[in-house]
Amino acid sequence: MGKTFVEKVFSKKMGRPIKTGEIVEVIPDIAMSHDNTAAISMIFREIGVDKVFNPDIHVIVLDHASPAPSEKYALNHKIVRAFVEKYGIKNFYDVNKGICHQVLSEEGFALPGKIIVGSDSHTTTYGAYGAFGTGIGRSEMAVIFATGIIWFKIPESMKITVKGKLPEGISAKDIILHIIGNIGSDGALYKSVEFCGDAITDLSIAGRMTIANMSIEMGAKNGFIAPDKKTLSRLEPRAKTDFEIIRADPDAEYAGELEFDINNLEPQIACPHTVDNVAPVSAVNRKKINQAFLGSCVNGRLEDIETAASMIRGKKVNKNVRFLVFPASMKVWQEAMAKGYLATLIEAGAIVMNPGCGPCLGAHEGTLAPGEVCISSSNRNFKGRMGSREAEIYLASPASVTAAAIAGKLVDFREI
Partner 1 sequence: MVKGKVWKYGDDINTDVIFPGKYTYTIHDPNEMAQHALEDLDPGFATAVRKDDIIVAGKNFGCGSSREQAATCLKFAKVRAVIAKSFSRLYFRNGINTGLALIQSPEAVDAIENGEEIEIDFDRGILYCKAGTFNFPPLPEFVLGIIEDGGLIAHVKKKIAQAK
State the residues that interact with partner 1 by CB under 8 A: 23, 35-36, 38-39, 42-43, 46-49, 64-65, 70, 72-73, 76, 118-121, 123, 135-140, 142-143, 146-147, 151, 153, 155, 185-186, 189-190, 219, 221, 274, 276, 361-363, 367, 380, 382-385, 387, 389
Cα-trace Rg, the chain: 21
Measuring CA to CA, how many Å separate 115 from each of 5, 35, 226, 245, 313?
12, 21, 15, 12, 42
Task: Please state the closest distance from residue 186 (CB atom) to partner 1, in A.
Answer: 4
Residue number with CB closer to partner 1 (278 or 342): 278
**Which among 275, 395, 301 is positioned nearest to 99, based on CA atoms?**
301
Residue number with CB closer to partner 1 (142 or 396): 142
Instruction: Please give the Cα distance from 349 to 343 (Å, whole number).
Output: 10
Would strands 291-294 and 373-376 be described as parallel, antiparallel, or unpaired?
parallel
Cβ burial 130-152 (10 Å sphere, 16+ → b, else e) = bbbbbbbebebbbbbbbebebeb
Task: Please state the closest distance from residue 230 (CB atom) to partner 1, in A.
Answer: 29
Instruction: Please give the Cα distance from 175 to 299 (Å, whole number).
Output: 13
Task: Please state the closest distance from residue 134 (CB atom) to partner 1, in A.
Answer: 8
Task: Please state the closest distance from residue 119 (CB atom) to partner 1, in A.
Answer: 6
Task: Please state the closest distance from residue 382 (CB atom) to partner 1, in A.
Answer: 4
State the amino acid at position 14 in one-letter form: M
Q: What is the 3-state secondary structure (H, E, C) of 205-232?
A: HHHHHHHHHHHHHHCCCEEEECCCHHHH
Residue number with CB closer to partner 1 (76 or 171): 76
**Which among 253, 267, 372 is positioned nearest to 6, based on CA atoms?**
253
End-to-end CA distance of the chain: 52
Does 273 sit behind a cis peptide bond, omega within 30 degrees of 0 on the bond before it? yes
**Which among 117, 259, 125, 286 is positioned nearest to 199, based on CA atoms?**
259
Residue number with CB closer to partner 1 (36 or 268): 36
Q: How far does Cα 219 stand from its chain's mean position? A: 14
Residue number with CB closer to partner 1 (123 or 318): 123
**Mutual angle of helices 205-213 and 302-312, in 10-degree steps:** 110
Residue number with CB closer to partner 1 (57 or 203): 57
Residue number with CB closer to partner 1 (382 or 414): 382
Task: Please state the closest distance from residue 153 (CB atom) to partner 1, in A.
Answer: 8
Instruction: Please give the Cα distance from 271 to 257 (Å, whole number).
Output: 27
Task: Please state the closest distance from residue 42 (CB atom) to partner 1, in A.
Answer: 6
Q: Look at residue 332 and give its three-state secondary structure.
A: helix
Residue number with CB closer to partner 1 (277 or 334): 277
State the CB neighbour count (10 A cutoff) for residue 15.
7
Task: Please state the closest distance from residue 75 (CB atom) to partner 1, in A.
Answer: 9
Residue number with CB closer to partner 1 (37 or 318): 37
Task: Please state the closest distance from residue 388 (CB atom) to partner 1, in A.
Answer: 9
Residue number with CB closer to partner 1 (13 or 64): 64
Instruction: Please give the Cα distance from 125 to 133 (Å, whole number).
Output: 7
Task: Please state the closest distance from residue 281 (CB atom) to partner 1, in A.
Answer: 23
Measuring CA to CA, how many Å separate 344 from each of 290, 338, 357?
21, 11, 22
